[in-house]
Structure 1
Amino acid sequence: MTPLEIPTDLDATLVLVRHGESEAIVERRFQGRLETPLSATGRRQAALIARRLARPLDPPALPLPVGSPLAIVHSPLGRAAETAAAIRDAAAAPGAFATSIPLRSDERFLEIGQGDWEGVPADEITARHGELLARWRRTPTLAWAPGGERLAEVRERVAPGIADLLAELQAAGRPGSIQAPQVAGYRDGDLDQPWTVLVGHDGVFKVLLLTLFDLPLERFWMWTSDLCGITVLEIRAGRPVIRAMNLTEHLTGLLDDEAQAASDERARSGAL
């Protein structure tokens, strides 16, 4: 596939947010494109991440531009849409951005289709398709769920989605704000470039990051997005930089230690 072309004059930020815990995650069932609502814990996670993004300067400050995001884009699946709506509602509250942020779904950021495995308990998949599942974990470009999507197919839909997000950010940017490439972490003046929030899924975010950084799909498992984790991607003069990866401190204290450990284990299971 042709590498993603990032405009060399683009100076913007893209924030990735994984959805909150769903009922299927609690039940340890493969999700894929299965419609499953947020669990009670998932709704609390969504409220906490919404409050965090609405108050980015609360210590420790998030590395975000000043002002409200250009838009909140989300996967059409309910667990992502519900999380995105919580972020929008918190942003409009007094003491936050106090403005209405456009909210829209984009089917190109649907979770990876898991075909016949969707809705099936993980233990059953392991018992019936253990060898295939092991190959998916080991060589994800050479194995996939029966009737499911191949990673190359996922990238074919995700890449145009990323390109459109970047084009929208570029159109909203300040003309001529970048004269030459800058070193990540060093800024000139206030960083008031545009930014967008994308609420989606662990599997799709893995593919998105590989595409953005022009890395092979064989490295699919190198990235992790925990439930309601925050990843901040900064584009500086057309070069992507990870400013923050999978932040989850805003969820601290959500559960007691035993329940938190169980939730952490479920969060790490991504791409089910």
Structure 2
Amino acid sequence: MLLDPTPQAPSTWVDLLRHGEPEGGVIYRGHRDDPLTERGWRQMHDAIGADEEWDAVLTSPLLRCHAFAEALASERGWPLYQDADLRELNFGDWEGCTAEQIKVRDGKRLAEFWAGDEDYPAPGGETLASFQQRVASAWAYWIDRLQGQRILLVCHSGVIRMVMAEILGISAARSVANVQVPYASRSRIRVDDTDHGLFSCLVAHGFRPGQLQLDAA
């Protein structure tokens, strides 16, 4: 039987919460700063249990994350932090476009992008390697700064996938292709500082028990 390394300090627990439904419909929305719809706000409120406690709330600065994070932190009296490196992937010229619109004008490049080909980012956009690097850097910084605390991280599906890639030791492209992150879904990660370095594991992924999953696809 394999034994977990012995922690040197209290575990750090991070609950990653994807934002709810934003205004503007189903489009490529990276750095585009759309607010949540009324349904999106309901999704977010339902994702948080009345008796749940965190020591800190960390958020992307984009409205679809920050507005709810700020409201929750203010209501519960928790410290709030934000980090621009926790924004979604920048889709460049594809920002605000539907998949159908992009297929018409840039179908080959779109297929290559989703195949995980680093040579074909969105035109004027961010490469997957650059995105993974900035998310991994931000993750390492906050895990160190808030060590031993319970953290709620309100962010984006792409950010959650990049964190998953780090935790599970898989490529960013595989995480994008194989990890589903619906609106207002949650992922829990435990991080321990051990004699052998940081030991991180995925504890849960999906929805909290009893969550209504309002239009969460």
2:87 is matched with: 110
The residue that corresponds to 1:75 in the other structure is: 60
The match for 1:243 is: 203
One-letter amino acid of the structure 2 residue matched with residue 243 of structure 1: V
Structure 1 residue aligned with 2:72, among 76, 87, 98? 87
Q: TM-score, normalised by structure 1?
A: 0.69
Q: In 2, distance between residues paired with 1:113 and 1:253?
A: 27
CA-to-aligned-CA distance 1:27-49 (integer Å, 9 cap, x gap): 22211100111011101112212
In 2, distance between residues paired with 1:224 and 1:242? 14
Cα distance 1:224–1:140, how it changes in 2: closer, same or farther (>3 A)? farther
Counterpart CA distance in 2 for 1:35 and 1:204 is 16
Identity of matched residues, %: 28
Could you give the per-residue CA deviations for residues 185-207 of structure 1, whole angstroms, max 9, x where no partner exists?
Answer: xxxxxxxxx21111100012111
| Structural mapping, 1:48-63, within 5 Å | 48-50=46-48, 52=49, 54-56=50-52
Amino acid at match of 1:75: S
Distance 1:169 1:110 in 2: 19
Q: Secondary structure at 1:111's aligned position in 2?
A: coil
What corresponds to 1:225 in structure 2?
181
Deviation readout 1:78-116 (Å, 9 max, x if unpaired): 0011221243245x2xxxxxxx10112100101000000
Match of 1:41 among 39, 42, 61: 39
The 8 Å contact of residues 115 and 173 in structure 2, kept in 1 or not, is answered as no
Contact kept in structure 2, 1:16 and 1:232, CA below 8 Å: yes
Shift of residue 211 of structure 1? 2.1
Q: Which residue of 1 aligns with 2:4?
A: none
1:234 aligns with 2:194: no
Letter in 1 for 2:67: E
| Structure number with higher strand proportion | 2
If you compute each CA radius of gyration, which structure gives the higher value, 1 or 2?
1
Q: Distance in 1 between matches of 2:208 and 2:150?
A: 20
Instruction: Quickly say closer, same or farther: Cα 1:253–1:197, change in 2 above 3 A.
Output: closer
- The Cα RMSD (Å) is 2.2
Cα displacement (A) at 1:250 = 4.6
Unaligned ranges ≥5, structure 2? 1-6
CA contact (8 A) 1:16 1:199 kept: yes
- Shift >6 Å, 4+ stretches: none
Shift of 1:131: 1.5
Shift of 1:142: 3.7
Give the AA of the match of 2:56. Answer: A
- Determine helix, strand or coil for the equivalent of 2:146: helix
Runs of 5+ in structure 1 lacking a partner?
Answer: 1-7, 57-67, 93-99, 174-193, 255-259, 265-272
For 2:206, the aligned partner's letter is N
